[in-house]
């Protein structure tokens, strides 16, 4: 224990209890010291600053009861990680990955067993500790997570599936970190499911860093269904080397207020990021989604495709930012953001932002916010389908172009089930 930690009693007790390495505790303190100088990040047309999004509860261990998971169902998967709150509940089919030199372990274990690796990558390449107030708070209050490392030229044929269940049966904030490192020439398919159990008003601060080294390929998929009383900052960021590729497929099916900050930094020549997002906002919730791809290397490709649906009095904002830096010759930045309104009281926004600092590049954008097509509804209803079912079919058609582009059929199916459930629930408020 460093002398400095002594002056931060809440950190001292926690870090001692979880037995974390000193360097990490020092990082927490560094973050705490930086906080007073840092500001909340700002996102175009997303006003979240007054939400209870800042972490204020002291670091504390949460011991969740595993029986809470009984009410959830998990899809079978060959490689499966289930975490409840701060704890690892199950890890199936991980040892066969370890035989290939792959590391998949929960955050505390990673800090103890793979300290050097974590130190090398954590908040260094993709997201930075002192980037803004929320990233600094993330480091200061981090209590759970997963560390994934795929060695050079290793190809995982089966996807790795994770369920991260926030335990909001008690007033604990959920501060969660995932680091994925895909070494040169490796391939990984990863599916993340975020959910909440419990109804306490809590804050979630989640950061996912994907480091895709040269010639690696990461398929990242997520189905996010955080609870209605959880206010969330969700940051997913990719850092891509030469000819690396990340396919992002994200389903934003949360019930509470959330800011999603999804970025890809195409640093290496020929790096390629495909971002597909479907989102549904219901009730009175606000979902603000800021998706950015930055072309830094030459001949880099950044594509954003996001479609969302809004019901009741909800809000959904899509920002699409394509930023081509000077020197990114031959870069391509394309984006499409569309919002479908099912209610006149809902608010939707689709903002295309293209920032181009070099010549010899290609870029394009499309954005729209529109009402549901009445002719389609009429046609479906004229065959006897009730209005709500007809609406769901039209919505499915609207989201179809995004879903069709999701590389994995399994994820597509899972996402469709979640979409249907979210819509059925959302229509109850109509």
Positions touching other proteins (CB under 8 A) are 373-376, 378-387, 389-390, 393-394, 396-401, 403
Smaller CB distance to other proteins: residue 298 or 392? Answer: 392
Scanning the structure block, which residue is given the tokens 């009445």?
A: 374
Instruction: Report the distance separating Cα 271 and Cα 199, nearest Å.
Output: 42
In the complex, least distance from residue 338 CB atom to other proteins, rounded to whole angstroms = 13
Smaller CB distance to other proteins: residue 59 or 419? Answer: 419
Smaller CB distance to other proteins: residue 23 or 378? Answer: 378
In the complex, least distance from residue 384 CB atom to other proteins, rounded to whole angstroms = 4
In the complex, least distance from residue 371 CB atom to other proteins, rounded to whole angstroms = 13
Closest C-alpha among 69, 148, 54 to residue 102: 148
Smaller CB distance to other proteins: residue 344 or 359? Answer: 344
Cβ contacts of residue 137 below 8 Å, gap of 6+? 31, 35, 54, 55, 175, 205
The answer to whether the CB of 260 falls within 8 A of the CB of 233 is no
Instruction: Report the distance separating Cα 206 and Cα 259, nearest Å.
Output: 11
In the complex, least distance from residue 430 CB atom to other proteins, rounded to whole angstroms = 15
Which stretches within 35-154 are classed as H helix?
A: 95-98, 107-113, 115-121, 133-141
Cross-strand pairs, 215: none
Sheet with 202-212: strands ordered across: 103-106, 144-150, 174-182, 202-212, 230-240, 258-266, 286-295, 315-324, 347-356
Smaller CB distance to other proteins: residue 359 or 382? Answer: 382
In the complex, least distance from residue 393 CB atom to other proteins, rounded to whole angstroms = 5
Q: Phi and psi for 42 in degrees, rounded to 5?
A: -115, 140
The answer to whether the CB of 414 falls within 8 A of the CB of 397 is no
Closest C-alpha among 180, 162, 235 to residue 204: 235
In the complex, least distance from residue 399 CB atom to other proteins, rounded to whole angstroms = 7
Smaller CB distance to other proteins: residue 356 or 393? Answer: 393
Smaller CB distance to other proteins: residue 15 or 418? Answer: 418
In the complex, least distance from residue 391 CB atom to other proteins, rounded to whole angstroms = 11
Sheet with 87-92: strands ordered across: 87-92, 79-84, 160-167, 187-197, 217-225, 245-252, 272-281, 301-310, 332-341, 362-371
Smaller CB distance to other proteins: residue 364 or 386? Answer: 386
In the complex, least distance from residue 307 CB atom to other proteins, rounded to whole angstroms = 11
């Amino acid at each position: 224990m460093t002398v400095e930690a002594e002056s931060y009693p809440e950190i001292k007790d926690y870090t001692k209890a979880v037995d974390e390495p000193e360097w990490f505790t020092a990082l927490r303190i560094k973050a705490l010291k930086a906080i007073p100088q840092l500001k909340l990040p700002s996102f175009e047309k997303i006003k979240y600053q007054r939400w209870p999004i800042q972490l204020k509860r002291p670091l504390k261990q949460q011991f969740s009861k595993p029986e809470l998971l009984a009410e959830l169902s998990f899809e079978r998967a060959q490689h499966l990680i289930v975490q409840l709150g701060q704890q690892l509940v199950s890890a199936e089919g991980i040892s066969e990955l370890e035989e290939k030199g792959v590391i998949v372990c929960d955050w505390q274990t990673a800090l103890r067993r793979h300290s050097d690796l974590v130190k090398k990558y954590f908040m260094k390449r993709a997201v930075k500790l002192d980037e803004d107030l929320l990233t600094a708070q993330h480091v200061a209050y981090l209590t759970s997570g997963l560390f994934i490392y795929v060695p050079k030229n290793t190809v995982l044929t089966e996807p790795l599936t994770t369920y991260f269940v926030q335990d909001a049966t008690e007033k604990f904030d959920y501060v969660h970190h995932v680091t994925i490192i895909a070494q040169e020439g490796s391939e990984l398919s990863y599916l993340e499911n975020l959910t909440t159990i419990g109804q306490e008003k809590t804050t979630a601060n989640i950061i996912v860093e994907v480091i895709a080294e040269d010639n690696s390929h990461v398929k990242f998929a997520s189905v996010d269904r955080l609870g209605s009383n959880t206010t969330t900052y969700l940051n997913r960021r990719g850092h891509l080397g030469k000819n690396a590729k990340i396919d992002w497929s994200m389903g934003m099916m949360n019930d509470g207020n959330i800011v999603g900050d999804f970025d890809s930094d195409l640093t290496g020549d020929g790096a390629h990021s495909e971002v597909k997002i479907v989102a549904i906002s219901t009730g009175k919730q606000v979902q603000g989604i800021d998706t950015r791809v930055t072309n830094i290397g030459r001949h880099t490709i950044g594509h954003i495709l996001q479609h969302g649906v809004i019901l009741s009095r909800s809000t959904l904002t899509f920002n699409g930012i394509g930023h081509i830096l000077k020197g990114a010759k031959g870069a391509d930045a394309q984006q499409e953001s569309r919002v479908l309104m099912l209610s006149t009281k809902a608010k939707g926004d689709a903002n295309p932002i293209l920032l181009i600092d070099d010549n010899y590049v290609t870029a394009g954008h499309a954005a729209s916010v529109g009402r549901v097509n009445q002719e389609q509804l009429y046609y479906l209803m004229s065959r006897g389908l009730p209005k709500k079912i007809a609406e769901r079919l039209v919505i499915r058609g609207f989201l179809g172009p995004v879903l069709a582009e999701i590389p994995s059929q399994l994820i597509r199916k899972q996402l469709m089930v979640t979409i249907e459930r979210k819509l059925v629930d959302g229509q109850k408020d109509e």
